[in-house]
Amino acid sequence: MAIKYKLVQRKDFSKDAPKDAKKYFAQIVSNGTVTFDELCEGIAEESALTSGDVKGMIDRLTKALVRHLKAGRNVQIGELGNFRPTLGSKGAASEKEFDAGTMMKKPGMMFTPGKALQNMRTQITFERISKKEETTTGGGEEERPGEL
């Protein structure tokens, strides 16, 4: 099944674009949301686990991720991918002037997809929806050009 998209007109932020220039960009049209319960039930149907087992495992996985990321560790989760903490700060003229209490920015987290997710990205196909479908689907998710 293809990912559906529509074209939307937005301001052209290219380097040499005229002030009021606009271009058309692809915007994904959501095909719905899979709830956490639906996801767990689907996994349970494909395994020997119950839906409750899957929910419990994901809950424990989240707690373990938080613990290890807070300790500054990278976390590998098999085919899913890797999580690692990131940080940034304001600059100081000298080491002595650097104050971690006021200059550190809010830490972040980087996710690097595993091979299965990376491969999925190369296998996606796209289908442009018609103007008629645009009005019946109610729009789509706000995505930036090139995001996936």
- pLDDT of 63 reads 97
Residue 62 and residue 40 in one domain = yes
Question: Looking at the structure, do residues 81 and 119 belong to the same domain, yes or no?
Answer: yes
Tens-digit pLDDT profile for the chain (148 aa)? Answer: 799 999 999 999 998 889 899 999 999 999 999 999 999 999 999 999 999 999 999 999 999 999 999 999 999 999 999 999 999 999 999 999 999 999 999 999 999 999 999 999 999 999 999 887 776 655 555 544 444 4
Asked whether residue 109 is domain-assigned, the answer is yes
In a domain, 112, yes or no: yes
Compute the distance between CA of residue 87 and CA of residue 140 in angstroms, rounded to an integer: 32
pLDDT of residue 7: 94
Q: Domains in the chain: how many in total?
A: 3
pLDDT at 46: 96
Please indicate, yes or no, whether residues 3 and 41 belong to a single structural domain of this protein.
no
Q: Is residue 95 part of a domain?
A: no
pLDDT at 135: 66
pTM: 0.71
**Which residue type, as a one-letter code, is found at position 37?**
D
Question: Quick one: pLDDT at residue 1?
Answer: 77
Is position 98 within any domain? no
Residue 112's domain comprises 77-90+104-123
Is residue 24 within 8 Å of residue 7, measured between CB atoms? yes
Position 146 scores a pLDDT of 47
Task: List beta partners, residue 104.
Answer: 89
81 and 117 housed in the same domain: yes
CA 123 to chain centre: 18
Has residue 9 been placed in a domain?
yes
The answer to whether 85 and 72 are in contact (CB under 8 A) is yes
Residue 147 domain flag: yes
In a domain, 38, yes or no: yes
In a domain, residue 96? The reply is no
Instruction: Clarify whether residues 3 and 20 are in a common domain.
Output: yes
